Amino acid sequence: MSQIYNLLLTIVRSFRKLSFKLTFTGYGDPVKHVRRLTQYAQKGKVLDVGAGSGAYKEILSGLGTYTSVDIAPGCDVTASIYELPFPDESFDTIGLFMVLEHLAEPKKALQECSRVLKKGGTLLLTTPQYWHFHSWPNDYFRYTKEGLRYLCNNANMEIAEMKSMGGPFIVLFSVIDVNMRLYGGSFRRLLVYNPLMLIFNTLDLLIFQHHDNRTESDSVGWAVSA
């Protein structure tokens, strides 16, 4: 019996690994946009602010000397984004990925990032315009492109590029996904999540080219280089 149990357990684990590999993330996946944003990065010293578990370490490490910082222990440096323990103009590139919505004082945070960024350096940023409430550590804001432009300009940074991370159909799929938890299990991922994501992603591409340039903009989020 134990051999049969172990065999079944191995099959289930293998299926889970396969289902993750086969997951179709679509244009709204922040990781895809971080990879694309690195084309604007300056090589040299790189700071990953709010790095958490290091989801983007592999991508950013290719740009040079990598340093991670977070308010929670576990990164290279434990510190608040409002008081980064680095001298002025210390880094060539700063990554701020899916962090801004968790900050009570985003203006102050971007000013501090600007302080430790070298002249001619680059800030790479992703943040949602739509996403569900996810209170860890806190969840304060959602951003429009005008709001992001204001915050960057206020911190003496000029936006070089700002792209939508998916138009209205990606937004609609995200609403369905996070409220029905389609991504929850291996079977749901393959049999429900993947087909629906493929459909909504294709509609978004065909109708909106994954960008919404209408007067009344509707985007799942923004990827910014400044």
Query: How many Cα atoms within 13 Å fall on the side-chain side of residue 137?
Result: 11
User: What pLDDT digit, counting tens, does each position of 19-51 carry?
Assistant: 445 566 678 888 889 999 999 999 999 999 999
What would the DSSP string read from start to end of 64-131? EEEEEEESSBTBSEE--GGG-SS-TT-EEEEEEES-GGG-S-HHHHHHHHHHHEEEEEEEEEEEESS-
> What is the per-residue pLDDT for 26?
77
Binning pLDDT at 50, 70 and 90, where does residue 77 land? very high
Q: Count Cβ atoms below 10 Å from residue 202 Cβ, excluding itself.
A: 12
Return phi, psi of residue 131, to 5°. -170, 160
Binning pLDDT at 50, 70 and 90, where does residue 182 land? confident
Residues in Cβ contact with 165 at an 8 Å cutoff, skipping those fewer than 6 apart: 27, 28, 30, 33, 126, 219, 220, 221, 222, 223
User: What pLDDT digit, counting tens, does each position of 131-180 carry?
Assistant: 888 776 789 999 999 999 999 999 999 999 999 999 999 999 988 888 87
Q: What percent of the chain has pLDDT over 70?
A: 84
pLDDT at 191 over 70: yes
